[in-house]
Structure 1
Amino acid sequence: MTRSVWIKADDSVGGWETRKRRITTAIEAGADWVLVDEADVSRVRELGDINVAAFRSDADLVDSVETETARADAYLVGKDGEGDGTVELPNDFSGSADLSTLRRSDNRAQGAYIRIFDEDYEAFAEEAAYDAEHTIVIGEDWSIIPLENLIARIGDETDLIAGVTTAEEARTAFETLELGADGVLLDTDNPDEIRATVEARAASEREDLSLQYATVTAVDSTGMADRVCVDTASLMDHDEGMLVGSLGRGLFFVHAETAESPYVASRPFRVNAGAVHAYARTPEGGTVYLSELQSGDEVQLVDTRGNTREAVVGRVKIEKRPMFRVQAEVETDDGVDRIETLLQNAETIKVATRDGRKAVTDLEVGDELLVYYEAVARHFGEAVEESIIEK
């Protein structure tokens, strides 16, 4: 699931300068959407590149001319109407409605904005969701309308966006029922909360990998090969690196060059990853050949505990260097499997062992290396269930 962060910036939050600060922070923090009134769409376009959702109202219907810059990416209804309680729900409402109740005569709206005051509004949100691409629900009392109900009932029917006021509430929304809301609408003027909510979104989508140790069975000099350094656009911590290997089922943890040495300054944005043929893991759980990486691609970073995050590749350097072949055996459910990779013969390339960080040049048979192992075959980087022999 790809989750999203929406920032509320319509006229209910204040004047234009207040709204502008929210929008600017949202763009700088990497939020996905801003929700504004239709009159502000062109203003948002001038501030930066972000998806714009706009409230439609009866007053907007008189405007017949719509320029490209004034066109929103999505239109929502519900503000100043039945959705937010400004207009009461119909007396004959019995849990049967659709988005047309909120649209009135405007057929452009693709989404609904509904505040949940009681069970009738919960039912109203459920019915509107069947006709809405985006359904934003603002819980006025979550003891009456738990988010679990909406996720369970309409989570597959619409892009369900939960209203929140803090990053902590956003984390809860992303984790509810283990599935979580598809997104959150954050209502705050606090820039730190906006940034923290975007980070909470990113963290909710990341993998937690189960790493294990493999025992080194051989370290052999293989001569020269084309070696790949992956320079990312992110600084890595001391315990972070990448998973790389010659075999798709077994990837070795290789540290980023965060350590100082007598030979070269630390480069905490770099992983000296191996030869051009080797696999590297991507944020989606696939693999890519090191030779295929280029500026702008994404790779998966991992720490020694298996926590992951994504990083953008800034540059890839391929040079001829002397290499080692590192071979290891890993315990599996079916016995013992042998995996291997090629790493540069240099003191600055470090791997994670049971005894701590160790240079490749100091590796010995019997050392235990941190690896990621999954008993699957891969086809064009994707895990497949078929018989493939790698050796």
Structure 2
Amino acid sequence: MTRSVWLKADDSVGDWDARRARITAGLEAGVDVVLVDERDIERVRELGQVTVAAFTGDDVHVMDAEPSEVDPDITVVGKDGEGDATVDLPSDFSGSADLTTLRRTEGTTGAYVRILDKEYETLAQEAAKDADYTIVIGEDWNIIPLENLIARIGEETDLVAGVRTAEEARTAFETLELGADAVLLDSDSPDEIRRTVEVRDEAERESLSLEYATVTAIEQTGSADRVCVDTGSMLDHDEGMLVGSMARGLFFVHAETAESPYVASRPFRVNAGAVHAYVRTPGGGTKYLAELKSGDEVQVVDTQGHTREAIVGRCKIEKRPMFRVEAELENGDRVETLLQNAETIKVATETGRKAVTDLEVGDEVLLYYEDTARHFGEAVEESIIEK
């Protein structure tokens, strides 16, 4: 499931200066969608590139500008109508003006519903049958209505839960384990907006089960074309990348965050090995190190298996003397990789970070193992021999 953060920036936020400040903070933080009134569609597009959802139609209250002639990416129904309780709900939903408008609206649509009681919960369920996005705003409730809607609404719609803080967003993403598809944040705080985007990213990330394998061989080889991966992010002391000659067994190689008497630290760099080796990418894929280029995404992982994404800034390929490192897992399988013969290249062992030049047979090194083959970087059910 792909999670997203919507930012509420309609006239309830205040005048255009207040709305613009909120939208700008959202763009800088990396929100996915901005929800505004129709008149602000063009203004938002002038501020930056983002998906624009808008309350449109004759019923939407317009204070200081004419309706936009530019269509939004997502047309949202429910403001100043039944969805926000401006208009009373009909006794029979077949007579609902909001639902009728929703069904007649072309393009990508959203339904906006404040959950005041069970009737409004039912309205949200009915709207979900036709809306691409169903936005639900809790009123004096916490989890139960959201649980009900997650359980009852299928894949025909994306459920967007209204929140005011990053912690509420975390709860929405975790409810019933499945969680909401998105959150609609109503906050002016740049810090809260940024933290909510971070919560979204955390919810998207893999958590890997790393294990130790016993070094069975460590030997100098000749020179090879070695790749340094320089990212556009600063890496923490316990972070690195997963690389290896065999896709089923990728070694944890630390980022160059440690100080050295010989060279300055490079906390954005992983000296990852020879050009033929695999590196793990977000979503469980792999790429050859030789294929990486500026703008690509790679997966950064820490020693606990927590992952995040980083953008490649550049790759440096230079001929360097190498070590061949081989390790055996508990199941008897052996995997290997080539790493540069240098004190600054460090791997994670059971006793802590260790330079590859100090590595010995019998050391326990950290790696990620999955008994699967790869075809163009994708896992496949196929028998492939790597040696």
TM normalised by structure 1 equals: 0.94
Instruction: Return the alpha-carbon distance in structure 2 between the equivalents of residues 271 and 238 of structure 1.
Output: 12
- For 1:77-226, list aligned pairs within 5 A: 77-93=77-93, 100-103=99-102, 107=106, 110-142=109-141, 145-226=144-225
Equivalent in the alignment of 2:75: 75
* Amino acid in the other structure paired with 1:285: G
Aligned residue pairs: how many? 385
2:228 touches 2:273 (CA, 8 Å); kept in 1? yes
CA separation of 1:105/1:346 partners in 2, compared to 1, >3 Å: closer, same or farther? Answer: closer
CA separation of 1:99/1:246 partners in 2, compared to 1, >3 Å: closer, same or farther? Answer: farther
Deviation string for 1:16-60 (max 9, x for gaps)? 111111100000001101000010011111111111111013157
Equivalent in the alignment of 1:261: 260
CA separation of 1:100/1:312 partners in 2, compared to 1, >3 Å: closer, same or farther? Answer: same
Post-superposition offset of 1:99:
6.0
SS of residue in 2 equivalent to 1:57? coil
Equivalent in the alignment of 1:380: 376
Is residue 346 of structure 1 aligned with residue 345 of structure 2? Answer: no
Instruction: Return the alpha-carbon distance in structure 2 between the equivalents of residues 194 and 143 of structure 1.
Output: 20
Is residue 51 of structure 1 aligned with residue 79 of structure 2? Answer: no
Deviation string for 1:274-313 (max 9, x for gaps)? 0111010111111111111111110000111111111000
Root-mean-square deviation (Å) = 2.1
CA separation of 1:237/1:108 partners in 2, compared to 1, >3 Å: closer, same or farther? Answer: closer
Instruction: Return the alpha-carbon distance in structure 2 between the equivalents of residues 88 and 215 of structure 1.
Output: 69
Instruction: Return the alpha-carbon distance in structure 1 between the equivalents of residues 197 and 258 of structure 2.
Output: 30
CA separation of 1:143/1:359 partners in 2, compared to 1, >3 Å: closer, same or farther? Answer: closer
SS of residue in 2 equivalent to 1:84? coil
Post-superposition offset of 1:178:
0.9
Post-superposition offset of 1:382:
1.2
Equivalent in the alignment of 1:336: 332
Post-superposition offset of 1:212:
0.8
Q: Structure 1 vs Structure 2: percent identity of aligned residues?
A: 73
Greater shift, 54-63 or 273-282, is seen at 54-63
Post-superposition offset of 1:143:
5.6
1:244 touches 1:278 (CA, 8 Å); kept in 2? yes
SS of residue in 2 equivalent to 1:80? coil
Q: Structure 2: state its 5+ residue gaps.
A: none
Greater shift, 51-60 or 219-228, is seen at 51-60
SS of residue in 2 equivalent to 1:58? coil
Post-superposition offset of 1:111:
1.1
Deviation string for 1:154-205 (max 9, x for gaps)? 1412011000000000000011111111100000111111000000000001
Equivalent in the alignment of 2:316: 317
Instruction: Return the alpha-carbon distance in structure 2 between the equivalents of residues 65 and 97 of structure 1.
Output: 24
Deviation string for 1:77-126 (max 9, x for gaps)? 100001100001112338x9696434487555611111111111111111
CA separation of 1:144/1:353 partners in 2, compared to 1, >3 Å: closer, same or farther? Answer: closer
SS of residue in 2 equivalent to 1:146? helix
TM normalised by structure 2 equals: 0.95
Instruction: Return the alpha-carbon distance in structure 2 between the equivalents of residues 102 and 119 of structure 1.
Output: 22
* Amino acid in the other structure paired with 2:342: A
Is residue 293 of structure 1 aligned with residue 289 of structure 2? Answer: no
2:42 touches 2:68 (CA, 8 Å); kept in 1? no
Is residue 11 of structure 1 aligned with residue 7 of structure 2? Answer: no
Instruction: Return the alpha-carbon distance in structure 2 between the equivalents of residues 301 and 286 of structure 1.
Output: 13
Is residue 38 of structure 1 aligned with residue 31 of structure 2? Answer: no
* Amino acid in the other structure paired with 2:296: D
Equivalent in the alignment of 2:305: 306
Equivalent in the alignment of 2:386: 390
Post-superposition offset of 1:141:
3.2
Instruction: Return the alpha-carbon distance in structure 2 between the equivalents of residues 249 and 307 of structure 1.
Output: 19
Equivalent in the alignment of 2:363: 367
Instruction: Return the alpha-carbon distance in structure 2 between the equivalents of residues 310 and 152 of structure 1.
Output: 31
* Amino acid in the other structure paired with 1:112: A
2:61 touches 2:80 (CA, 8 Å); kept in 1? no
Instruction: Return the alpha-carbon distance in structure 1 between the equivalents of residues 138 and 351 of structure 2.
Output: 51
Instruction: Return the alpha-carbon distance in structure 1 between the equivalents of residues 55 and 37 of structure 2.
Output: 5
Is residue 247 of structure 1 aligned with residue 246 of structure 2? Answer: yes
Instruction: Return the alpha-carbon distance in structure 2 between the equivalents of residues 22 and 189 of structure 1.
Output: 6
Instruction: Return the alpha-carbon distance in structure 1 between the equivalents of residues 356 and 211 of structure 2.
Output: 18
* Amino acid in the other structure paired with 2:22: R
2:83 touches 2:98 (CA, 8 Å); kept in 1? no
Post-superposition offset of 1:153:
1.2
Equivalent in the alignment of 1:326: 325
Instruction: Return the alpha-carbon distance in structure 1 between the equivalents of residues 11 and 170 of structure 2.
Output: 26
CA separation of 1:256/1:100 partners in 2, compared to 1, >3 Å: closer, same or farther? Answer: same
Post-superposition offset of 1:142:
2.6
